[in-house]
A and B are shown apart, each in its own frame.
Chain A
Amino acid sequence: EAQVTQNPRYLITVTGKKLTVTCSQNMNHEYMSWYRQDPGLGLRQIYYSMNVEVTDKGDVPEGYKVSRKEKRNFPLILESPSPNQTSLYFCASSTRTSGRETQYFGPGTRLLVL
């Protein structure tokens, strides 16, 4: 089954304790992206990756890092989490076919930073 998986699905942590949220896709997509979703703000792009070893900042990259060492994985790293990073996070992957680009989203990771 074609899918995007994220782990963990729920996480409670404390300020300053480094954490990583993993994302993996099995569709051989070139493009992957991380979003955060906050009430009233919709989804905002944090980082994206066009292919292996190619990443770029989205609209809200501060406080986050990413890496793309393999095509299927795109982990999101919070080196020193702060309470304002409490949010719902989504990973997505996509490929372009005939000028169309369909993003497949993971199930989400709900993060609470105390």
Chain B
Amino acid sequence: GESVGLHLPTLSVQEGDNSIINCAYSNSASDYFIWYKQESGKGPQFIIDIRSNMDKRQGQRVTVLLNKTVKHLSLQIAATQPGDSAVYFCAEKNSNDYKLSFGAGTTVTVRA
């Protein structure tokens, strides 16, 4: 795994290791959070989401953790593969609103 609790703009991961990507969100009123993956030359693609009434949600090889107390969100990728190389964005919104706010993104590079 990699550093936890600190947002890093870049992350280099050995193939097969687990990756942890962190995100701090700003709005206490946000109750819905989404992780997106953006590959080079493409638009962002939905990975996984989580509502504020949960603190953990799992997908295929990915897990999202939410800590509302410190307004922190993380994405864990198990057994990172070369195809996981991309920019990862967290996004937050309030269910009563239509605005979606994105974080600055973390560029993940997978080393063979």
Contacts and interface: CB of A to CB of B under 8 A. Distances in A.
Interface of A: 4, 31, 33, 35, 40-45, 48, 50, 56, 58-59, 90, 92, 99-108
Contacts of A31: 98
Interface string B4-20: 00000100000000000
Q: For this complex, into which size category does the number of interface residues on chain B fall?
A: 20 to 34
Contacts of A102: 34, 46, 49
A-B pairs, top 9 by smallest CB distance, nearest first, are A105-B43, A43-B102, A42-B102, A42-B104, A105-B44, A102-B46, A42-B105, A90-B43, A48-B98
B100 A45 contact: yes
Nearest to A58: B99
Contacts of B51: 99-100
Contact of B99 (A40, A45, A104, A105): A45
B104 A103 contact: no
Interface string B80-112: 000000000100010100111111110000000
B36 to A, nearest CB: 8
Q: State the main secondary structure of chain B at its contact with A.
A: loop
A99 B33 CA distance: 12
B98 A56 contact: yes
A104 B98 CA distance: 15
A110 to B, nearest CB: 10
A90 B100 CA distance: 13
B87 to A, nearest CB: 9
Nearest to B46: A102
Contact of A42 (B34, B89, B98): B89
A90 B43 CA distance: 7
Contacts of A43: 44, 89, 102
